[in-house]
Every structure is written in structure tokens, then in C-alpha cells.
Amino acid sequence: MISTRYPSSAHCTEDTTRVLNESLALLLIFSLIYSSPLQEELIVHRQIQEIPDQFIHTGKANPNTPLTFRIKLASHNLTGLEKRLYETSDPTNQQYGIHLTKEQVDDHVRPHPNVTTAFNRWMSQHGITPTAITKAGHELTIQVSVAQANKIFNASFLEYNDTSSDRTIIRTTQYSVPRTVAEHVRYVYPTTQFSNPEIRQYRKKKTPASTGVIFSNTTTRRDPCDPNQVSIGCLMNLYSVPNNIETPKSPGKVGILSLGGAIQGKAVAAFMKASRTDIPLSGLQLEIMSLQGGDNLQTPTFSPIDNGESNLDAEMVLGLTPSSPTVGISDTAGDGFGSSFCILAEQDEPPEVLSVSYVGTEILWDRDQLMSICDCIMQLAVRGTTVVAGSGDDGVASGGRNCTLFNVGATDLSSGTETGAFFSGGGFSFIYPTPQYQIGAVQSYLEQLGSLEAGHYNVTGRGVPDISAIGEGVWFFNNGTGGIIDGTSISTPVVAAIISGLNLQRRANGKSSLGFVNPLIYAHPEVLNDITQGTTILELHIYM
């Protein structure tokens, strides 16, 4: 008889367990070899509830459309950098005027190594290698398709039409990042930012004036000030600007940010021939620098929103301080001034004065974007650059309230003395707090104001403008003809020119540039005229 023996239940269980364990081990090995790393948990980083009215959703973005994202990581010692800024700009501090080097700034803004490691690990999970665009490594770019971006950021990127310019942009109303890097990612662009592409240029064109010589007595600077046609001679008289300032061996440059079109040499030359007959054109130093593919078109466009802004700024700067080496910074192909300041902060030798006649209204801008710009302006300031920017031409609805800007309003001469121009921007920020150097001036102003307009402004906000200059009825040259113009686009380069002149004199005496000039100005109000007369408008359309 043939008998059959079956394994005991104990042996069966043991063999089965062994086989299962071996199988699981093999599966684990194969998963490690052939699978991508485990995806980290994502959390919402930024979201907006509604988009500005001027943007209309037109559909889904093509999944194959390429996108370039600029990502800023948290700096490990930004607080320390701000502390150094105030030390070097406080005239009572022993560190006054001792500006930091690029390397010293990088030491402050460099991310902690653990932050960089965590960020790179996230990117590697998607097969992406970021490219650092700053020496300190705190700003990086990645290039991906819309489909990849949707996956990386757990977002839905859509197309929107900007009805104000009839151009299409790709944005999302929400995006996410891993929990491990959420607190270390300062800024991702373009994501939820809708306001950046629209940079308003604040100028009001009037009837063209004569193209003839309007500054015939430069040597003695006794030009009468005609409030309807303010000349360079008038401005020199008002602000005690010398005829010419001797150029030191190593003069710093004045930078003019141009977003609409490059400075045109012929327009500047025509202006100088009419306004500064004492200055040979051969002695002027003017160059054009391109940022992000900015143009250098020298053909007149006959459009006031293109080259006119740039020409005006250059004419005011060179007309008042012809010995200042001037560089037109053409960023016509970029994203407005969202990245301009950060690119300039990376330069080995940035301008000692930067004139910016463009304004972004605070309430329409992405907060992260504003703070990113603020960081970059601080990096410029602590290295000795004075960033001069207009307060805008929409009264209290204007923007330009960054803490480290030297903010310029406008005055006019229609009453015979300087009074506040009706359009000049001013007010208090809802994002930036009152800086330490301004506390005394703000408190004094609020005490005089009393209960007037109480509740309609932020009593703890940064106040603007810091200073004002003539901004109404000024003669300039553009597109082959002279004209009269109004706006803080005039007063801004006027102040920039004056600061450049002071820097030239300081350089000649072995001193550093003025740099972040705000604390010095607020510490010595006696050197300025206090403009207390004038009425400001409110342009309600800015909120529509």
C-alpha cells in the first residue's frame, strides 16, 4: 500500500512565511531601483480668493507651454543685514558710511544649508535641477512645462487675459509646497501674482513748447522761473546746484531704470544743446545697459509711454549734473521691476544712485513680491546705493512706500513759491511699518492732523513722500520736439541728480557715497524747506 505523507501545519506555515518574506524583500528592492522617491506631503503655500477685475479667465493653459519660475529661499540672517544698514546710514554711528561689500551681503542673505538641501530634495523628486541665479544661492530658477508645474505645485495653471494691455498670462490662484520647506520658501513667481505686468508711468503731457534755446545764461544761473515752462536753469537756482562739479577719479554712476524704452541719445543731445550751452556734448558720459533682454532702440516711437520716460530722466540728471556718469538700465523685456532690483543687487558695481520713475500701487501687488523687492533694495542700499523713486501721481491712491526707498513727491511754482502739486502721491503704507528714522516726523504730523480722516489710513505705517521737488510745468525734449510735462517722473530724477552731485563732491574728498540717505535727511530737517501748502487728489479709478 502506498501511503502519502503531508507536511505538518507547522512546517507549512514556516515555509509560507519564508516565501512571503523573500517576495516582499524582492518587491522592496525593485521599488527602490525603479520607482521615484516618495512624494513629500504638500501644504498650501499661497492662495488668493479673487483676481483683479482687469483679468479674465480664458481657459486652461496648454500643458506643453514652457514656464520659468523664479524661487526665493529664506536668508539665514536678513535681520542682521537690516541692522548693518541702519548702522552704516546713521550719522551718529561710528560705522556711518562704511558700506558693505558684495561678499558681506552674500554672507547675510545665503540660505541655511539645511534649507538648500531640503529644497533640492523636493526638486529631485520631480527630476529637476534648479539653477542658482544669485551667488549666495537664495534665488533659483526652474524651467518646466505647465503640466509639470501643476504636478510640482499641486496647482491649476490657467490662462488669463489682461484687458488693460490685451496680453495673455498664465497664473494660478493657489499653489502648494512640501511641509518641510514651506516656511523657507519666500516667493515663487509666476504663481498667484496678477498685478506685476502693469507698471503705470505717471506723466501728464501738456502743450508742446518751443525747441529753441531756453537756458541762455548758464554761466551766471539767473534764469527766471516761469511756472509754465520750468527750465534747468530755474531748477539750478531753486536748489543751489553748481554749474558743474569736478569729476573725481572714480565717480559712481547714476542708473536710470527704463521699463518702457531705452534712453535715446539724440533726444538727450538736443535737450542739452538747448538747456546747457556751457557743456560740450563730448563731455557727457551716457551708456545703455540691457537687463533681461531690454532693448536699445534709438528710433523715435512717437509714443509718450515708450522712450519719453527714459529720455526725461536722463535729461534731468545730465542737465543738472553733467559730470555724472549715467547709465540707462533698459529692462523692457522683463516682468516690470519685479526682478530689476534683484538683478542689480547681484552686480559687482551697482549704481551709486538709482532713479526709478515707475510706481506699483501697493494694494494691487502681491505681498510676497513686494517683500522680495524690499529685500533686494536693502541689499543695494547697504552697499551704498541710494534708490530714488517717485511717490506716484494719484494722490493717496499712489504706491511706492517701501522702507528703503528715498521717496519723492512733487511741487509746483504756480503760486510763486513751491507748494504741493495736486497730483503728488502721499500717505501711509498698510504693509510697511513706520521705520525708526521716521517715527518723530510721523508722530509730529499725526498730532497736527488730529482726528481728520481718522480711520482712513494706517497710523503705524511708513509715510511718504520723504522729500519733494518741482514736478509740474517742466520743459523736456522727446521725439524731435520740446514739450511741457508734469509728474513725479520729473521730481524723481531731479532729486537723483542732486544726490549724485553730492556724491561726486564726497568722492573728491575721499568719502563714500551717501547710500541709504533717509536717516540722515530725517535727522537734519533744517536743511530742507518744509512744504505745508497744497491739496492732493484721490484717483478713484485706481481701485477699479
Number of domains in the chain: 2
Mean pLDDT for all residues in the chain: 84
As a whole number of angstroms, the distance between CA 405 and CA 518 comes to 8
State whether 243 and 183 are in the same domain: no
- pLDDT bin (cut points 50, 70, 90) of residue 36 is very low
State whether 151 and 271 are in the same domain: no
The 3-state DSSP class for residue 528 equals coil
Quick: pLDDT tens for 290-327. 887 777 766 665 454 567 888 999 999 999 999 999 99
Quick: pLDDT tens for 479-489. 778 888 888 89
State whether 337 and 379 are in the same domain: yes
State whether 157 and 296 are in the same domain: no
Task: Identify the weakest region by mean pLDDT among 71-80, 173-182, 324-333.
Answer: 324-333
Quick: pLDDT tens for 222-237. 467 888 899 999 999 9
Q: Which of 106, 223, 306, 313 is catalytic?
A: 313
State whether 185 and 259 are in the same domain: no
Whether 391 is catalytic is no
State whether 346 and 279 are in the same domain: yes
State whether 383 and 407 are in the same domain: yes
Residue-level pLDDT at 339? 84
Residue 80 has pLDDT above 80, yes or no: yes
C-alpha cell belonging to residue 357: 520713475
pTM metric for this prediction: 0.86
* Residue 540 CA to its chain's centroid (Å): 24
Question: Which residue, 23, 49, 90, is CA-closest to 515?
Answer: 90
State whether 182 and 216 are in the same domain: no
What are the backbone angles phi and psi of residue 267, rounded to the nearest 5°? -65, -45
Q: Which of 489, 491, 500, 513 is catalytic?
A: 489
As a whole number of angstroms, the distance between CA 117 and CA 127 comes to 15
What are the backbone angles phi and psi of residue 172, rounded to the nearest 5°? -130, 155
Range of the domain at 71: 42-75+110-189
Q: Name the domain boundary from 169, 189, 209.
A: 189
Q: Is 386 among the domain residues? A: yes
State whether 183 and 222 are in the same domain: no
* Termini Cα distance of the chain: 101
Q: Is 91 among the domain residues? A: no
Residue-level pLDDT at 56? 95
As a whole number of angstroms, the distance between CA 284 and CA 301 comes to 24
H or E element in which residue 492 lies: helix 488-508
As a whole number of angstroms, the distance between CA 85 and CA 437 comes to 12
State whether 231 and 175 are in the same domain: no
* Residue 423 CA to its chain's centroid (Å): 22
Q: Name the domain boundary from 158, 189, 220.
A: 189
Q: Is 17 among the domain residues? A: no
- Inter-residue contact 485 to 420 (CB < 8 Å): no
Q: Is 103 among the domain residues? A: no
- Inter-residue contact 353 to 380 (CB < 8 Å): no
- pLDDT bin (cut points 50, 70, 90) of residue 215 is very low
- pLDDT bin (cut points 50, 70, 90) of residue 346 is very high
The three-state DSSP-derived secondary structure of 360-371 is CCHHHCCHHHHH
Q: What is the CATH number of the domain that holds 390?
A: 3.40.50.200
As a whole number of angstroms, the distance between CA 410 and CA 394 comes to 11
Q: Is 36 among the domain residues? A: no
Residue tagged 536748489 (cell numbers)? 239
Between 2 and 519, the higher pLDDT residue: 519
State whether 241 and 354 are in the same domain: yes
As a whole number of angstroms, the distance between CA 72 and CA 134 comes to 10
H or E element in which residue 121 lies: helix 113-124
Quick: pLDDT tens for 415-466. 888 888 888 888 888 889 999 999 999 999 999 888 888 888 889 999 999 9
Mean pLDDT of 365-387: 91
Residue 400 has pLDDT above 60, yes or no: no
Residue-level pLDDT at 480? 79
Side-chain half-sphere CA neighbours of 301 within 13 A? 18
- pLDDT bin (cut points 50, 70, 90) of residue 40 is confident
Q: Is 537 among the domain residues? A: yes
Whether 82 is catalytic is no
Beta strands in 206-303 (DSSP E): 254-258, 286-290
State whether 128 and 242 are in the same domain: no
Whether 159 is catalytic is no
- Inter-residue contact 486 to 537 (CB < 8 Å): no
Q: Is 13 among the domain residues? A: no
One-letter amino acid for residue 155 of the chain:
A
Residue 113 has pLDDT above 60, yes or no: yes
- Inter-residue contact 310 to 267 (CB < 8 Å): no
Residue 536 has pLDDT above 80, yes or no: no
Residue-level pLDDT at 29? 43
Q: Name the domain boundary from 143, 168, 189.
A: 189
- pLDDT bin (cut points 50, 70, 90) of residue 334 is low
Residue-level pLDDT at 370? 85
Quick: pLDDT tens for 347-374. 999 999 999 988 777 776 778 888 888 9
- In this structure, how many other beta carbons lie within 10 angstroms of the beta carbon of residue 142? 19
Q: Is 222 among the domain residues? A: yes
